[in-house]
């Protein structure tokens, strides 16, 4: 490499790397938005097409579980689905840089609606968690998710009230990673359901479903949170660090 090419090399590669990073972000964001819309269309909307008992007869989602519960829990399920659906789609829009930069007023309003949706969706999630067909695992897994959803949403709100934008972004990344559990749960479930078939093991729907559903209350959000922390560090935002203990 000549002295001249060595000098101009960084100038030529930097914009390409930036362009690639931007293209990668755009593809990732489009994937998140489309999967969010698909979950709303195929998992949330069906609950508003008929009564829970009719849906239970057609084996839609968890309708058969909730058709047996009290009116209070059923009401919480509907509130939860509406809150979750608004948060899933509204939250994806919040990560669209064009919207943030060009119309910040819309970003602020969608942000308020998003946090209210997280608030009511999280509280309703806590109400329905004890009825989960996954028993204690469902209660603790979904319950912990609901608590963390509420806490990270609150921290994101407090940070922006203090005008601490980097902390607000970090808490929003964590919070939306938890919201996105609504999608990852529905990606893990068919994978775990079909895994015994791929491993050549005997397969029967009810036991395969019970087995898969015992894993998702934690699996749907723990990896998301680890990924969020990695993303926060990569972007240079305030991240969690394990304290270093010095031994003297
Ligand atoms: C991130 C925090 C969330 C928590 C804590 C949570 C909690 C729960 C719980 C406890 C259930 C009942 C599950 C069971 O009985 O085993 C449930 C069901 C449901 N949730 Fe969520 N959820 C969250 C996010 C979302 C999101 C973002 C959506 C978006 C659409 C959503 C939509 C639904 C739907 C449609 C059901 C009914 C079950 C089904 O048919 O799949 N949830 N959720």
Taking only the tens place, the pLDDT of each residue in 1-43 is 445 444 455 555 568 888 888 899 999 999 999 999 999 999 9
Ligand 1 atom closest to the Cα of residue 125 is 7
Label residue 122 by pLDDT band (50, 70, 90). Answer: very high
> How far is residue 236 from each of residues 42, 170, 184, measured CA to CA in Å?
36, 9, 26
Protein residue closest via CA to atom 5 of ligand 1: 146
Question: Best-predicted range by mean pLDDT among 6-15, 94-103, 125-134?
Answer: 125-134
The per-residue pLDDT for 5 is 47
Ligand 1 contact, 179 CB (< 6 A): yes
Angstrom distance (rounded) from CA 144 to CA 126: 9
| Furthest C-alpha separation in the chain | 78
Residue identified by tokens 């479903």 is 209
For residues 226-239, give the mean pLDDT: 96
The per-residue pLDDT for 82 is 98
Ligand 1 atom closest to the Cα of residue 179 is 1
Ligand 1 atom closest to the Cα of residue 122 is 5
Does any domain span residue 16?
no
Ligand 1 contact, 180 CB (< 6 A): no
Does any domain span residue 187?
yes
Ligand 1 contact, 56 CB (< 6 A): no
Does any domain span residue 4?
no
Ligand 1 contact, 133 CB (< 6 A): yes
Ligand 1 contact, 129 CB (< 6 A): yes
Ranking 3-12, 148-157, 179-188 by mean pLDDT, the lowest is 3-12
The per-residue pLDDT for 4 is 47
Does any domain span residue 216?
yes
The per-residue pLDDT for 245 is 72
Q: Mean of the per-residue pLDDT values for the chain?
A: 93
Dig out the tokens for 205 from the structure.
Answer: 């729907």
Protein residue closest via CA to atom 13 of ligand 1: 132
Does any domain span residue 247?
no
Ligand 1 contact, 87 CB (< 6 A): yes
**Is residue 171 classed exposed, middle or buried when 0-12, 13-18 and 19+ CB atoms within 10 A define those classes?**
buried
Ligand 1 atom closest to the Cα of residue 66 is 15
Phi-psi region of 59 (alpha: psi -120 to 50; beta: other; left: phi over 0): left
Dig out the tokens for 55 from the structure.
Answer: 């849906």
Number of compact structural domains in the chain: 1
Ligand 1 contact, 44 CB (< 6 A): yes
| Alpha carbon of 26 to ligand 1 centroid (Å) | 27
Substitution candidate for ligand 1 out of 33, 80, 180 with most atoms within 8 A of CB: 80
Does any domain span residue 242?
no
Ligand 1 contact, 175 CB (< 6 A): no
Substitution candidate for ligand 1 out of 68, 81, 90, 228 with most atoms within 8 A of CB: 81
pLDDT exceeds cutoff 80 at 146: yes
Ligand 1 contact, 65 CB (< 6 A): yes
Residue 166, domain extent = 27-234
The per-residue pLDDT for 18 is 84
Phi-psi region of 200 (alpha: psi -120 to 50; beta: other; left: phi over 0): left
Does any domain span residue 17?
no
Does any domain span residue 96?
yes
């Amino acid at each position: 490499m000549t002295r001249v090419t060595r000098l101009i090399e960084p100038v030529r590669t930097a914009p390409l790397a930036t362009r690639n990073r931007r293209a990668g972000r755009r593809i990732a964001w489009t994937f998140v938005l489309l999967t969010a819309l698909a979950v709303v269309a195929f998992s949330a909307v069906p609950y508003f097409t008929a009564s829970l008992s009719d849906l239970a007869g057609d084996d839609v989602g968890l309708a058969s579980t909730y058709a047996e519960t009290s009116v209070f829990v059923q009401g919480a399920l509907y509130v939860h689905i509406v809150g979750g659906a608004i948060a899933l789609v509204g939250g994806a829009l919040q990560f669209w840089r064009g919207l943030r930069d060009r119309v910040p007023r819309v970003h602020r309003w969608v942000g308020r609606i998003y946090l209210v949706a997280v608030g009511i969706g999280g509280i309703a999630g806590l109400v329905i968690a004890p009825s989960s067909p996954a028993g204690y695992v469902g209660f603790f897994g979904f319950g912990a998710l609901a608590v963390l959803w509420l806490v990270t949403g609150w921290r994101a709100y407090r940070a922006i009230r203090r005008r601490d934008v980097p902390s607000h972004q970090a808490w929003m990344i964590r919070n939306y990673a938890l919201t996105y559990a609504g999608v990852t749960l529905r990606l893990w479930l068919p994978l775990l359901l079909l895994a015994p078939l791929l491993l050549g093991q005997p397969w029967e729907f009810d036991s395969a479903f019970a087995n898969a559903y015992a894993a998702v209350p934690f699996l749907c959000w723990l990896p998301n949170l680890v990924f969020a922390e990695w993303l926060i560090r990569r972007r240079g935002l305030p991240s969690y660090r394990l304290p270093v203990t010095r031994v003297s």
